[in-house]
């Protein structure tokens, strides 16, 4: 998939600015041999990290007490927020984290890794925003952390951070704002006049915020910042081991040896683009998002989900009529048809009140290409309509229904692959709609198991 030019609307972030990637990569190359493991041996990395954390704190309402760590990405920042919260409450024997159902999967990973229970709270079924009353009700004596998103990945909406933070603070519980994807663009959108709800350290009760620089700060991949309202909150993810014959291992994050590359690249890109530059990039991204949103609304049969606050869009198919309650085309086929036209849009499966939909991460590089996208999208919907529904053989659906994710065997997996018309070598077919339709028929737990088996097929020498 192309990484530049705005044709891949997930995974990649293109500023569209000539020379920016080259600058980042030059800084990356200079610093990558240096090792962030020892800030006293490589004080330039220390200085750059303090600069980058200060820049993030400055953007996100930090105070003189705000501190942070540079991590390898959003998932690591979220992991460390959970770890620090757990360590901060060692008196809680069975710690739990309260999450809106729309929180990023990174928090489930944190729960899995760190033995913390994830308490998932349903969100508003129409706006997809966290429900503050339900979040407050879910807080109990086990809760070590409450999470909100600014915005959520799936629907691009900002949760009511103020109310949730107040509820957490009232119970003496930490509150993390996951601004991994929005943190570097929402403040600029607000300056451009968008009605961005409060979500940063200016909100009382917010104790940590994650913001990824490899997203809307347009830095080369491998860099995020986890900010804490004060140093005491950070201590729980620091680690020391002096009890062995080698150097005293002192780590701020999960990694120990740490390339200086991503940090130096981010430092250079942040300084080069600067405040004015990010404002311009946000202006372009905002305009592109608005044009795409409006254009999608004009394509018969499509509907944008919720009322997105940032630069992410998710759209679904409208029921063709009251008789069926279903759209008269298959959304997965629309994704395939877009792929055939040179665009990547990301299928999202149904989850609670969120129907099957297609996700768009809009970046500055999409400015100017909106009409081309919308023309192709309208054609893709027409083609999907003409192609008709994607039929999953009833016996395959029945076979899926009979599978138990906890006991899925290699043979059952092979059988499923064969049934789906896939070779056993992990090669993907041209068209993914039949595979996605099959996966959509599986409950989430089974989908996880099946896809993990599939991952195992991909990562084999020679495959
Ligand atoms: C809101 C949010 N949190 C966390 C993450 C995880 O970030 P990463 O993929 O950098 O680990 C993402 C990624 O898109 C995100 O959108």
Residue 106 host element (H or E): helix 106-114
Distance of CA 254 to the CA centre of its chain: 19
In this structure, the residues whose C-beta lies within 6 A of any atom of ligand 1 are: 73-75, 78, 104, 106, 149, 153, 178, 180-181, 212
pLDDT tens digits, the chain, 463 residues: what are they? 999 999 999 999 999 999 999 999 999 999 999 999 999 999 999 999 999 999 999 999 999 999 999 999 999 999 999 999 999 999 999 999 999 999 999 999 999 999 999 999 999 999 999 999 999 999 999 999 999 999 999 999 999 999 999 999 999 999 999 999 999 999 999 999 999 999 999 999 999 999 999 999 999 999 999 999 999 999 999 999 999 999 999 999 999 999 999 999 999 999 999 999 999 999 999 999 999 999 999 999 999 999 999 999 999 999 987 777 789 999 999 999 999 999 999 999 999 999 999 999 999 999 999 999 999 999 999 999 999 999 888 888 888 888 999 999 888 888 888 877 777 677 788 899 989 999 999 999 999 999 999 999 889 887 6
Q: What is d(CA 217, CA 278) in angstroms, rounded to the nearest whole number?
A: 8
Give Cβ neighbours of residue 244 (< 8 Å, ≥ 6 apart). Answer: none
Query: From edge to edge, which strands make up the β-sheet containing 346-348?
Result: 302-304, 312-317, 357-361, 346-348
Q: What is d(CA 6, CA 58) in angstroms, rounded to the nearest whole number?
A: 29
Backbone φ and ψ of 226, nearest 5°? -110, 120
Q: Which ligand 1 atom is the nearest neighbour of the CA of 151?
A: 1
Residue 463 confidence (pLDDT):
66
**Residue for token digits 């966290």?**
130
Q: Can you read off the two tokens belonging to residue 414?
A: 């092979």
* Ligand 1 pocket mutation, candidates 13, 75, 253, 308, criterion most atoms within 8 A of CB: 75
Residue 148 host element (H or E): strand 143-149
Query: Ligand 1 centre from 432 Cα, in Å?
Result: 24
Q: What is d(CA 97, CA 80) in angstroms, rounded to the nearest whole number?
A: 13
Query: Ligand 1 centre from 215 Cα, in Å?
Result: 9
Q: Which ligand 1 atom is the nearest neighbour of the CA of 76?
A: 11
* Ligand 1 pocket mutation, candidates 8, 13, 72, 74, criterion most atoms within 8 A of CB: 74
Query: Ligand 1 centre from 166 Cα, in Å?
Result: 25
User: What letters, b where the CB count within 10 A reaches 16 and e where it falls short, cover 44-53?
Assistant: ebeebbeebb
Q: What is d(CA 379, CA 360) in angstroms, rounded to the nearest whole number?
A: 17
* Ligand 1 pocket mutation, candidates 149, 181, 360, criterion most atoms within 8 A of CB: 181
Query: Ligand 1 centre from 103 Cα, in Å?
Result: 10
Query: Ligand 1 centre from 225 Cα, in Å?
Result: 12
Query: Ligand 1 centre from 222 Cα, in Å?
Result: 12
Angle at 150 between CA 6 and CA 157, to 5 degrees: 70
Distance of CA 444 to the CA centre of its chain: 18
Query: Ligand 1 centre from 180 Cα, in Å?
Result: 6
Query: Ligand 1 centre from 245 Cα, in Å?
Result: 38
DSSP state of 183: T
- Report whether 78 contacts 106 (CB < 8 A): yes
In Å, what is the CA distance from 179 to each residue of 10, 121, 190, 422? Answer: 17, 19, 15, 38
Q: What is d(CA 260, CA 127) in angstroms, rounded to the nearest whole number?
A: 41
Backbone φ and ψ of 52, nearest 5°? -65, -40
* Ligand 1 pocket mutation, candidates 72, 104, 255, 309, criterion most atoms within 8 A of CB: 104
Residues in the chain: 463
Residue 320 confidence (pLDDT):
85
Q: Can you read off the two tokens belonging to residue 136?
A: 């407050």
Distance of CA 307 to the CA centre of its chain: 18
Q: What is d(CA 67, CA 230) in angstroms, rounded to the nearest whole number?
A: 6
Look at ligand 1, atom 7, and give the residue with the nearest C-alpha. 74
Give Cβ neighbours of residue 141 (< 8 Å, ≥ 6 apart). Answer: 92
Query: Ligand 1 centre from 275 Cα, in Å?
Result: 23
Q: Which ligand 1 atom is the nearest neighbour of the CA of 73?
A: 10
């Amino acid at each position: 998939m192309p990484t530049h030019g705005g044709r891949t609307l997930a995974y990649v972030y293109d500023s569209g600015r000539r020379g920016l990637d080259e600058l980042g990569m030059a800084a990356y190359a200079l610093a990558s041999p240096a090792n962030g493991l020892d800030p006293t041996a490589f004080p330039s990395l220390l200085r750059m990290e303090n600069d980058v954390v200060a820049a993030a704190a400055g953007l996100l309402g930090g105070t003189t007490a705000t501190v942070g760590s540079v991590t390898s990405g959003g998932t690591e920042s979220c992991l460390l927020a959970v770890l620090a919260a757990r360590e901060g409450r060692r008196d809680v024997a069975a710690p739990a984290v309260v999450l809106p159902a729309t929180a990023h999967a990174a928090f489930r990973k944190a729960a899995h890794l760190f033995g913390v229970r994830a308490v998932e709270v349903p969100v508003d079924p129409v706006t997809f925003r966290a429900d503050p009353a339900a979040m407050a009700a879910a807080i109990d004596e086990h809760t070590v952390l409450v999470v909100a998103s600014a915005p959520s990945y799936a629907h691009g909406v900002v949760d009511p951070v103020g109310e949730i933070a107040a509820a957490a603070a009232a119970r003496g519980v930490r509150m993390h704002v996951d601004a991994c994807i929005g943190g570097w663009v929402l403040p600029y959108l607000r300056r451009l006049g968008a009605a961005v709800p409060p979500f940063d350290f200016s909100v009382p009760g917010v104790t940590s915020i994650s913001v990824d620089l490899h997203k809307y700060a347009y830095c080369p991949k491998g860099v995020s910042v986890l900010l804490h309202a004060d140093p005491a909150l950070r201590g729980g993810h620091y680690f020391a081991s002096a009890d062995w014959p080698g150097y005293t291992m002192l780590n701020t994050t999960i990694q120990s040896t740490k390339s200086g590359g991503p940090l130096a690249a981010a430092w250079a890109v942040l300084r080069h683009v600067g405040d004015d530059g990010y404002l311009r990039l946000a202006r372009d991204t905002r305009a592109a998002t608005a044009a795409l949103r409006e254009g999608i609304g004009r394509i018969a049969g499509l509907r944008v989900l919720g009322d997105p606050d940032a630069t992410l869009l998710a759209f679904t198919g409208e029921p063709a009529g009251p008789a069926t309650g279903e759209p008269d085309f298959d959304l997965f086929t629309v994704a395939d048809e877009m792929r055939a036209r040179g665009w990547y849009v990301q299928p999202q499966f149904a989850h609670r009140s969120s129907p099957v939909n297609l996700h768009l991460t809009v970046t500055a590089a999409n400015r100017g290409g909106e009409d081309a996208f919308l023309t192709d999208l309208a054609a893709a919907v027409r083609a999907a309509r003409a192609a008709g529904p994607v039929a999953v053989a009833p016996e395959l659906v029945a076979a899926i229904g009979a599978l138990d994710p906890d006991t899925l065997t290699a043979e059952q997996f092979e059988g499923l692959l064969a049934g789906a018309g896939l070779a056993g070598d992990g090669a993907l077919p041209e068209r993914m709609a039949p595979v996605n339709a099959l996966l959509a028929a599986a409950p989430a737990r089974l989908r996880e198991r099946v896809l993990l088996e599939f991952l195992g097929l991909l990562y084999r020498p020679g495959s």
